[in-house]
Amino acid sequence: MSPQTVVTQMRPPAESLELETGSFRDAAVPFARSSLIIASYNIRYAVGSFLISGSLLRRAGLSWPSRRPALVERHLRRAALAFTDGKRLPPADIVALQEADKETRRAGGHDIARELAAALKMDYASALTNLPRDAEPHAKQWYLDFEEHIPPTDAGDTGIALLSRLPLKKAERVALPWTECAWRPRLALSATIQVGAVKLHLFNSHIDPHAAIAEQLAQHEAVLARAAELSGPVVLLGDFNTLSRNSCVEMRRLLESHGYSTPLPTGAKTWRAGLIRLHTDWIFTRGLEVTRWGVARGLGVSDHWPVWVEVNLNTAEQTSS
């Protein structure tokens, strides 16, 4: 048998991975509403809900990468249906995504944010993490070692995104301070939407689970500093990776001290792995009245469940003037 030539494709340099925006929205359809449904979802590259068992099967050599493209495609269809059919949550107007991979092998080559935006007929803005090619994962807490890593030979990347039925304006990536996880830089994504007289600012964050509470709070403070420069209502949302009650309490204390509030009670279950349930996903608002909220459990697309709120735009108009 003749030897085979193995071609190794490395990730492109970080400077080539910039903010990506696009639109599948029908601009001819008017948007006349007095409220918005805003959701946050760590979609975990749409690979399914079995974090721990999936990791154990991979380590045992029981994985089928050839099936991954079709699996992720099915999960993206399921997610699109959940955000539109009104059964698990009201039809969403804005969706913040975390772990939205772009063309990684673990996501079956799919562009998660773009494809979901297309299915939902929304605008989208996507910020890739710009994973370094020369930093390998290090030992960490055992309960954080089940993630399927993106190897240096994978040309894809992961990131966060904002999807919207209204035009997304001034989309911008916000670098967050990080120390523990050199192979996984952290970032937030900001954007603005205009609904009548209301200018609403959004910040989607994916906070580092490997960091100590003080380091997590420093990442929130970087977002708060940017939001403090803006007038009018603000929504802070995302996967805050609050893995203990103490981390929930400290995070709430910080955000509430800056004038933000959330309807989600501490301890609301938004993430599952086996019998473990944690509250990791949050939505906070400033200058907005929240009239409803919920957690869309049982979706099966990710180990997280979408969280959502409905905000009253009539009250927001007063704060944006």
Q: pLDDT tens, 278-304?
A: 999 999 999 999 999 999 998 999 999
Please give the Cα distance from 287 to 42 (Å, whole number): 25
Q: How confident is the model at residue 152 (pLDDT cuts 50, 70, 90)?
A: confident
Query: 5: alpha, beta or left, given left = phi > 0 and alpha = psi -120 to 50?
Result: beta
Contact, 126 vs 160, CB < 8 A?
Answer: yes
pLDDT at 89 over 80: yes
Residue 163 sits at the vertex; the CA angle it makes with 161 and 167, to the nearest 5 degrees, is: 120
Positive or negative, the CA dihedral 317, 25, 296, 248 is negative
Per DSSP, the residues of 147-185 read S----TT---B-EEEEEESS--EEEEEEE---SS-TTS-
Mean pLDDT of the chain: 86
For the chain, how big is the Rg over CA atoms in Å?
19
pLDDT at 64: 52
Under the banding of pLDDT at 50, 70 and 90, the label for residue 61 is low
Token digits of residue 168: 């997304």
CA-to-CA distance for 221 and 211, rounded, in angstroms? 14
Q: What is the pTM of this model?
A: 0.88
Structure tokens given for 97:
């995504």
Please tell me the chain's helix, strand, coil percentages from 3-state DSSP, rounded to the nearest 5.
25, 30, 45
Tokens of 198: 């209301």
Average pLDDT over residues 139-148: 58
Dist. CA 30–CA 248, nearest whole Å: 39
Residue 125's pLDDT is what? 98
Beta bridge partners of 279: none
Query: Percent of the chain scored above 90 by pLDDT?
Result: 67
Higher pLDDT, 205 or 6: 205
Torsion sign, CA atoms 166, 128, 42, 201: negative
pLDDT at 135 over 70: no
pLDDT above 70 for 2: no
Q: Is the pLDDT of residue 141 over 50?
A: yes
What mean pLDDT is predicted for residues 132-140? 57
Question: What pLDDT is attached to residue 5?
Answer: 30
Residue 143 has pLDDT above 90, yes or no: no
Res. 116 pLDDT band, cuts 50 70 90? very high
Task: List Cβ neighbours of 158 (8 Å cut-off, separation of 6 or more).
Answer: 45, 99, 100, 101, 102, 104, 128, 129, 131, 150
pLDDT at res. 13: 42
